[in-house]
Amino acid sequence: MLKINWKKIIAGAVAVAGAVALLAGSSYLKPATVNAASNSSSVSAIKKRGTLRVAVFGDLPPYGWVNKDGKRVGYDVELARRMAKDLGVKPKFIQVNANNRVDTLNSNKADIVLANFTVTPERKKVVDFAKPYMKVSVGVVSPKKKAITKVSQLKGKKVIVTKGTTAENYFTSKQPGVQLLKFDSKTQQFNALKNNRAAALADDNSYLYAWVKNNPKYTVGIKSIGPKQYISPAVKKGNKSLLNWSNKEITKLNKEDFFTKDYNSQLKPYFGSEVKPSDIVLNNK
């Protein structure tokens, strides 16, 4: 006989509702912005601590990944090391996935995000972006045998995206006729494409060029859809101190052509001759 224990069910429901109300209530009281007096990520706080905590990807060659000696390398990581050096501190890396980049800042786990973070109006509401250091747009990769070259071919088909990326955002808001298959990490999304879970995969085109170079059975059929977008360092909302410093730093690094050098050492081996530095690096000296 099945006996429903209403007492337990109600108790559980009350507990959950209580906890949710508590959390929701407290988030109204304390929005995630920086209070100048207790800013644990200000330039002076970072210098005092002696470490710059940087949120980076750990599984996205050539931007942020770990080589076989266990060392973090990549285009974003090089920038992170340089910024830490110019601050006179050591870098400390915090590995993130695409969809916890905002929360990592808001919960004070990192001072700055250098994880291929594309600037969007929605994200501007929750974090502060510094000057951009790279440009990208959304591309679509598909098997060569069944290449997708126009967005209209995707109507009613499945497309793979990573949660929290600009590709997900673009397809959700602008292409409602396309079914999305969403994953948590880059590793998972590319595996899903290889296992034929969907007709195509959408992500920032710069990753796709790199991936296609190693997976010659696939092609970036749509090189660019949606508007051109920029990649910037991000800091917690209201962290003026680190934001101003980062802006000055990017201007300085642009002047000495740091990003072209970074491109040549980190990205070029992955992209091959299909892509030129000027496709990725900004020339805003």
Partner 1 sequence: MAHSGISVLFEGTNFARLMGGLWTSVWIAVVSLAIGLLLGTIFGLLRTLPSRIIRFILLLYLEFFRILPTVVLLFLVYYILPRQFNVNLPATWMAVLAFSLWVAAEFSDIVRGALESVPKHQRESGLALGLNQWQLFRYVLLPQAIQLELPATINLATRVIKTTSLLLMISVMDVINVGQQIIEANNQTHPTGIFWVYGLIFILYFIVDYPLSLWAKHLTAKEEH
Residues that bind partner 1 (CB under 8 A): 8, 11-12, 14-16, 19, 23, 26-27, 30, 32, 58-61, 65-70, 94-97, 100, 103-104, 106-109, 184-187, 191, 213-214
Q: Which residue has the tokens 């793979």?
A: 160
Nearer to partner 1, 4 or 23 (CB): 23
CA 133/CA 285 separation, integer angstroms: 11
Residue 194 in tokens = 């290889």
Nearer to partner 1, 171 or 190 (CB): 190
Task: Tell me how far, at minimum, the Cβ of 252 lies from partner 1, in Å.
Answer: 30
Q: Where are the strands (E) in the chain, listed by range?
A: 51-56, 59-60, 64-66, 72-73, 90-95, 112-113, 127-129, 134-143, 158-162, 179-183, 200-204, 218-231, 234-236
Nearer to partner 1, 171 or 270 (CB): 270
Task: Tell me how far, at minimum, the Cβ of 240 lies from partner 1, in Å.
Answer: 20
Nearer to partner 1, 97 or 137 (CB): 97
Task: Tell me how far, at minimum, the Cβ of 67 lies from partner 1, in Å.
Answer: 6
CA 94/CA 53 separation, integer angstroms: 7
Task: Tell me how far, at minimum, the Cβ of 120 lies from partner 1, in Å.
Answer: 21
Angle between helices 75-87 and 240-255 (to 10 degrees): 110
Nearer to partner 1, 32 or 119 (CB): 32
The phi, psi pair for 118, rounded to 5°, reads -80, 135
Task: Tell me how far, at minimum, the Cβ of 236 lies from partner 1, in Å.
Answer: 10
